[in-house]
Amino acid sequence: SPNAPEFYDLCDELGIYVIDEANIESHGYITSLCHDSRYLAAWMDRGTRMVQRDKNHASIIAWSLGNESGYGAHHDALAAWIRNYDPSRPLHYEGAIMGWWDRPQSATDLLCPMYPEIAEIVAWSKNAAGSLNGDLPLIMCEYSHAMGNSNGTLGEYWDAIEANHGLQGGFIWEFWDHGLRQQLPDGTERWAYGGDFGDEPNSGSFCIDGVVWPDRTPKPAMYEHKALASPIAVEARGVTGAQRGALRITNKQDFTDLKWLRCEYEILVDGVAVARGKASLPEVAPGKSAAWSIPYVLPLAPKGAEGFLALKFMTARDTEWSERGFTVAHLQIPIALRSERSAEPRPLVERVEISGETVTAGSVQATFGGGESGLTALSINGVDLIDGGPTLSLFRAPTDNDEIRPMRGMPTPAARWRRWGIDSLLAKPGNMQFRRMGDAVTARQSIEWIGNDGVAFLHKRRFEFDASGVLRVHEELSVPERCNDLPRVGVHLNLPSSLDHLEWYGLGPHETYPDRARGAAIGRYSTRVADEYVPYIRPQEHGHHTQTRWCALSNGRQGLLISAPELFGFS
């Protein structure tokens, strides 16, 4: 807990729940100091001073006996003192149940595991009635490690928390990156961390583990948490409710109605807003739901177009923590659109021409070869669109959490990938085989990718180039059974640097991943390639966009549009 009294004053004023934790941690000696009588006085001194200092703060709902300091007689002594001095608040201590959730003990009133798996907390909820500590509320003392590009599966944790009795949430470790501004000899600045000042020993980037940067700017993961902490939930009433504007709204707050909020809506067709308006919110008591109707008219849309009702909830007035108009939550509900008559399809180019390994369809030309990409050139009107064709991509820059050892003696995920050799696979490409099929030409190729220690991947690829100038690429990969945790399965495409205009239809605007996509919105986004860089303090994988319908890269005149039969990701 911070020593700054202003923090507790703010929490009192804003209504933020606080578990006040004693400044006790003996991580390096976790099994010994809690039993060593020479440390008892220090243990008691730190815990009792905290309680006496902060006892009158209404924001404090529980006392914590410390963090990562084992479990011994010192904890029981401190727990007894606090229970006698302040019987009004429960106690929290993870060490008392560490590795033994139904352990007989008297030091904690909360079941507070550290980094449990989702399946563990769900199983506990379902079987708690038969457990010694089954009546304790489960609040994870830490459950999502915000180091670098991380916080995956926050949404899945909250699906479990909201669906299962007794699961009350948890604490993300932690709020902000503890980087220090450092000026380098060339005049540039960076956020520095362990070792950057010549300090030895150090813990490297282990202090760079927050959901905001050192200057408190939110990281992409913070938007994920914001969406999951939304005070409002909205769903359609019935199968066709969203089309008719018939909704159900739930107030997820415990004490407050919705009068402090206002709502605006948009109707999106393939990511573009075609109608918008304001929606009056009904009266909804805390924890309750109510029917809600928005009287909008659905527009006609091209056949197959995708529709969403996008809702944005904002503060209706200035608050103690925000200005009027601050966006508190945005929600999107799929809607079926009314289809207009579809346009006539564009006529195909009359014929695909083949000359050696070069295939031409009107202004589009492709050249194939027998290398690891299979495609050596692609152009439109003589303008090159690629520097190198699609190659297998199984590796990515490891994240900070990829480099953390899961248990003593086990290899890190990144070390395992390197041991398999997927960061330096050797390609053994087969010859390209051509075949004309009606108004299209196909080219097939097989490639064996060799790693380390007998690891090998069989990769089959088929190109289809039709008379409309569309190039379809079919990829098939056989993965060895032991390589069950690949960091990526995809293709890598080298493009000219002139194609720096980026547009996409999918989740955005910030980066998203398959396990961290709740905080983004479906829409059409336009930016430049350089702006996709996410400045993680220790450089690592970044800038991915999942649930993409299509993306396009161009020089402002010509370019590539990439789509797939199903939703895909790109970076």
DSSP state, residue 111: B
508-523 CB burial, b ≥16 within 10 A, e <16? bbbbbbeebbbbbbbb
Decide: 260 and 295 in contact? Cβ < 8 Å. no
Element housing 158 (H / E): helix 154-163
Cα 352 to Cα 368: distance, rounded to the nearest angstrom: 14
Question: What does the pLDDT look like over 336-383, one tens digit per residue?
Answer: 988 877 666 665 656 888 888 999 999 999 999 888 999 999 999 999
Decide: 11 and 59 in contact? Cβ < 8 Å. yes
Q: Summarize the confidence of residues 426-451 as an average pLDDT.
A: 93
Q: Summarize the confidence of residues 519-537 as an average pLDDT.
A: 97
13, 21, 25, 68: which is the annotated catalytic residue?
68
Cα 536 to Cα 213: distance, rounded to the nearest angstrom: 9
Cα 176 to Cα 214: distance, rounded to the nearest angstrom: 6
Decide: 367 and 354 in contact? Cβ < 8 Å. no
What pLDDT does residue 350 have?
63
Nearest to 505 by CA among 316, 305, 330: 305
Task: Enter the tokens of residue 252.
Answer: 């997820």
- What is the 3-state composition of the chain as percent helix, strand, coil, each rounded to the nearest 5? 20, 35, 45
Question: What does the pLDDT look like over 251-309, one tens digit per residue?
Answer: 999 999 999 999 999 999 999 999 999 999 999 999 999 999 999 888 889 998 999 99
Q: What angle do CA 162, 167, 172 make, to 5 degrees?
A: 90
21, 94, 142, 266: which is the annotated catalytic residue?
142
Cα 361 to Cα 354: distance, rounded to the nearest angstrom: 9
What pLDDT does residue 3 have?
79
Task: Enter the tokens of residue 73.
Answer: 């007689």
481 is catalytic: no
Question: What does the pLDDT look like over 81-94, one tens digit per residue?
Answer: 999 999 999 999 99
| CA dihedral (517, 231, 251, 253) positive or negative | positive
Cα 100 to Cα 9: distance, rounded to the nearest angstrom: 36
Q: Which residues pair with 19 in a beta bridge?
A: 62
Burial class (CB in 10 A: 0-12, 13-18, 19+), 356: exposed
Q: Summarize the confidence of residues 26-40 as an average pLDDT.
A: 95
What pLDDT does residue 341 have?
72
Cα 385 to Cα 558: distance, rounded to the nearest angstrom: 8
Mean pLDDT of the chain: 94
Nearest to 473 by CA among 560, 554, 542: 560
Element housing 120 (H / E): helix 118-127
Question: What does the pLDDT look like over 378-407, one tens digit per residue?
Answer: 999 999 999 999 999 999 999 999 998 877
Question: Cα Rg for the chain, rounded, in angstroms?
Answer: 29
What pLDDT does residue 343 have?
61
448 is catalytic: no
Cα 159 to Cα 230: distance, rounded to the nearest angstrom: 13
Burial class (CB in 10 A: 0-12, 13-18, 19+), 77: middle
Cα 431 to Cα 372: distance, rounded to the nearest angstrom: 10
Task: Enter the tokens of residue 211.
Answer: 């959901």
Whole-model pTM?
0.94
Q: Summarize the confidence of residues 529-541 as an average pLDDT.
A: 96
Query: How is 407-434 classified by DSSP, letter by letter?
Result: STTSPPHHHHHHHHTTTSPEEEE---EE
Cα 414 to Cα 395: distance, rounded to the nearest angstrom: 10
**Coil, strand or helix: which one is 82?**
helix
Task: Enter the tokens of residue 479.
Answer: 């993965």
What pLDDT does residue 346 have?
63
Tally the residues of the chain. Answer: 571
Distances (CA, A) of 263 to 34, 246, 505: 53, 15, 24
Task: Enter the tokens of residue 446.
Answer: 């097989």
The pair phi, psi for residue 505, each rounded to 5°, is -120, 115
Minimum mean pLDDT among 279-288, 347-356, 454-463, 476-485: which range?
347-356
Q: What angle do CA 220, 17, 316 make, to 5 degrees?
A: 65
Q: What angle do CA 173, 174, 179 make, to 5 degrees?
A: 135
Q: Which residues contact 9 (CB under 8 A, 6 or more apart)?
A: 57
487-505 CB burial, b ≥16 within 10 A, e <16? bbebeebebeebbbbbebb
Cα 341 to Cα 403: distance, rounded to the nearest angstrom: 54
What pLDDT does residue 242 have?
79
